[in-house]
Amino acid sequence: MKTALITGVTGQDGSYLAELLLEKGYTVHGIKRRSSSFNTQRIDHLYIDQHERHVNFKLHYGDLTDSTNLIRIIQEVQPDEIYNLGAMSHVKVSFDSPEYVANVDGIGTLRVLEAVRILGLEKKTRIYQASTSELYGGLAENKNEKGFYDENSPFYPRSPYGVAKIYGFWITKNYREAYDMYACNGILFNHESPRRGETFVTRKITMATAAIALGKQDCLYLGNLDSQRDWGHAKDYVEAMWRILQQDVAEDYVIATGVTTYIRDFVRMSFAEVGLTLRFEGEAENEVGIVDSINEQVFTAATGLAVHEGLLGKTIVKVDPAYYRPTEVDLLIGDPTKSKTQLGWEPKYDLAALCKEMVASDVAIFKKDNRI
């Protein structure tokens, strides 16, 4: 039986990965930061399983800014695999907290690698480093001949988050080459789910869709609607993480769908799930989304309600320049050729299925919790 250690286990990816590894018979240890409020909702069900089904799951208090703490935990756990998923991962917020994101996302990666080296676990422990498509910066001239970003595309990060992650990428590669460690980077493009943080754009959109349809919110405010992203499902992407650490040779991989979508079109898809067809008018910060038609049958099936008065013709999407980034990444699309051919990885979800699942989940959450 293998033992895995996951930093950032309480996050979207960490929770799905913990489930996957437990299903495969691993003993799973997770690291979470101490907080005065509960922040374990994504993994609370594993506690229940721990008591009812004797699942091998254990949490440790720790922080990627605390070297001695990481050394102690890794020494105690003696993991076969480490998945370093912990990070401050909100791109917009990284402009407000650049020093913090550098410490956690950049130097935090070094602390994990150095802990393994200090403890003499170089030959035992395999390390997965969660890298990101934000390394590329969206520059058109850096794409390959097919118009995608792959493992050989040059990096040009456009945010403190991307810059911190590029340090994490290169220090992982450096330790692999300098100390013959099994350490890999997974360059993951955007991946979403019903467990996505509520401030990330896809989840913000699906939550607003649910709230507006249920009459609990009037309008959704967004930033650059012309941005394009390569979106997949986090469930698919954590399987790729696991596959990366099962290879004979440590290498770096791009994990992506190879399909890109405008934020504006994801908004359309999301509201279509509750029977609302939108039309967009205006440009830039004056662009708005208006309810153009309503499929009452779909609306009632999705919400359990009759269409409320005044919804048809209502402006429910607006642009707020406050959400613009100082340096915007307009287009990200990944080339998953290597991950498909070498890892045998194929995503099971397309964007339509992902969007449908997220909207249905948020409608259920709002109805259960009576939010807003």
Enzyme catalytic residues: 132, 134, 161
Q: Which residue, chain included where needed, has tokens 């919804």?
A: 311
Cα–Cα distance between 8 and 159 in angstroms, integer?
21
Q: Which residue, chain included where needed, has tokens 């990200």?
A: 332
Instruction: State which H helix or E strand residue 341 sits in.
Output: helix 337-343
Coil, strand, or helix at residue 169?
Answer: helix
Close Cβ partners of 41 (under 8 Å, ≥ 6 residues apart): none
Cα–Cα distance between 131 and 173 in angstroms, integer?
12
* Half-sphere exposure (Cβ direction) of 165: Cα atoms closer than 13 Å: 30
**CB neighbourhood size of 364 (10 A):** 12
Instruction: From 39, 38, 46, select the one nearest 17 (Cα to Cα).
Output: 46
Sign of CA dihedral 238, 133, 95, 206: negative
Cα–Cα distance between 34 and 62 in angstroms, integer?
7
H-state helical runs in 78-136:
91-94, 98-101, 108-118
Coil, strand, or helix at residue 129?
Answer: strand
Residue 148 near residue 333, CB atoms below 8 Å: yes
Q: Which residue, chain included where needed, has tokens 């001949």?
A: 145
Coil, strand, or helix at residue 364?
Answer: helix
Token pair recorded at residue 80: 């076969």
Instruction: From 65, 67, 69, 57, select the one nearest 87 (Cα to Cα).
Output: 65
